[in-house]
Each structure stands twice: as structure tokens, then as C-alpha cells.
């Protein structure tokens, strides 16, 4: 049996980091994921999916992201239930995150937050959506996807992004 979930979207709020009585970190957050199609008004709708992440990964996610950060998560879908104060059984379905990737550079993420671009989560209109047809730019900026911590480019790295495109021909490639 297979239970794998892979999502790419933006955080709707900062990660809420708490600690269990045993000292384990747990982070909870909601990720807004664009749907593939637009509605009758031409706006892209989104699904808002709850997720939980544990231990050191939770601390890293909370430290390196904020509301509006573009992230990718991988995990499993889990349903749990509990009885609330009114005696009603409440069911919660969420993604338990195993891995995450930061999909935009820290500079792009901070610029995005500082510009006051409020992504309009209520209207489900994401101006920086990965599938946006209105932009020819790389929506992921200078990504370091695949790592749970951002890497700072070193001064001697010929592939570090300094805002200029790299001019390379096919003859220079080893394959």
C-alpha cells in the first residue's frame, strides 16, 4: 500500500512551533496549493492543506520560512480524531511531513514579503504561482531545492548567482 503526498505551495502563515512534554519540537502550518485550472472569473483557486512536521526539521522550517514562503513538502496523509470540550468527535486530516524543500532564495522570499505582496489567500489569487503563464521568469528564483537548509554561495563558486546569466556552450559540458 502507498501513502505518499508531494505538495508545492505557499505558507498561509508562519509555522507554529511548539514542544511536547518530552521536548520534541512539532510545527504545524497550512500550505496553499494552486489548482491546475481557473474558475469562471479567470482566477486560480487553491486548496489549503494542513500539515505537521516534527523534531529538527520543524525547527529548521520555522527558522527559514515565513508567511508566503514557497516550499515543497513530502510526507504521508494521516487522519486522527479527538473529542472536543463540547463532547463532539472531531476528525483532522493532515500531511505528516518527512522532507521539505525551500523553493526560493532567502533574498527572493524576503523581497516578496517586504513588497507587501499579500498573495490574497482569501481570493485564491497567487501572483507568484509556479504555473503562472504571465511570467517568463524562473518562479523559483535562485532555488536550493532538495535541502532542508539554505546554502550560502561561496565567493569562489563559479555557479553562484550574482544576478548575471552564465554563458556556457554545449561544447563546455562533459556530457
pLDDT digits (tens, 9 = 90+) for 31-78: 999 998 888 888 888 999 999 999 999 999 999 999 989 999 999 999
For 5-150, which CATH superfamily applies? Nucleic acid-binding proteins (2.40.50.140)
**H/E segment holding residue 64:** helix 55-64
State the pLDDT at residue 44. 86
Q: What is the mean pLDDT of residues 89-109?
A: 89
State the pLDDT at residue 38. 84
State the pLDDT at residue 150. 45
C-alpha distance from residue 126 to each of 38, 117, 168 (Å): 12, 9, 34
Residue 58 and residue 22: Cα distance in Å, rounded? 15
Residue 10 and residue 172: Cα distance in Å, rounded? 37
Region of residue 131 (left: phi > 0; alpha: psi -120 to 50; beta: else) = alpha
Residue 118 and residue 32: Cα distance in Å, rounded? 13
Q: What is the pLDDT of residues 108-156, one digit of tens each?
A: 777 777 776 555 444 443 333 333 333 334 444 443 444 444 444 445 5
User: For the chain, what are the domain ranges?
Assistant: 5-150
State the pLDDT at residue 171. 67
Look up the pTM and report it.
Answer: 0.61
Amino acid at each position: 500500500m502507498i501513502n505518499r503526498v508531494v505538495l508545492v505551495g505557499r505558507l498561509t502563515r508562519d509555522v507554529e512551533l511548539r514542544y511536547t512534554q518530552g521536548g520534541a519540537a512539532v510545527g504545524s502550518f497550512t500550505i496553499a496549493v494552486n489548482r491546475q485550472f481557473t474558475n469562471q472569473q479567470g482566477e486560480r483557486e487553491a486548496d489549503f492543506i494542513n500539515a505537521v512536521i516534527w523534531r529538527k526539521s520543524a525547527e529548521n522550517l520555522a527558522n527559514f520560512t515565513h508567511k508566503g514562503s514557497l516550499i515543497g513538502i513530502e510526507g504521508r496523509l494521516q487522519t486522527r480524531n479527538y473529542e472536543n470540550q463540547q463532547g463532539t468527535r472531531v476528525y483532522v486530516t493532515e500531511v505528516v511531513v518527512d522532507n521539505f524543500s525551500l523553493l526560493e532564495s532567502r533574498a527572493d522570499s524576503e523581497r516578496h514579503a517586504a513588497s507587501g505582496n499579500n498573495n490574497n489567500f482569501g481570493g485564491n489569487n497567487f501572483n507568484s504561482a509556479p504555473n503562472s503563464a504571465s511570467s517568463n521568469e524562473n518562479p523559483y528564483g535562485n532555488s536550493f531545492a532538495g535541502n532542508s537548509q539554505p546554502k550560502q554561495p561561496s565567493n569562489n563558486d563559479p555557479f553562484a548567482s550574482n544576478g548575471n546569466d552564465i554563458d556556457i556552450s554545449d561544447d563546455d559540458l562533459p556530457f
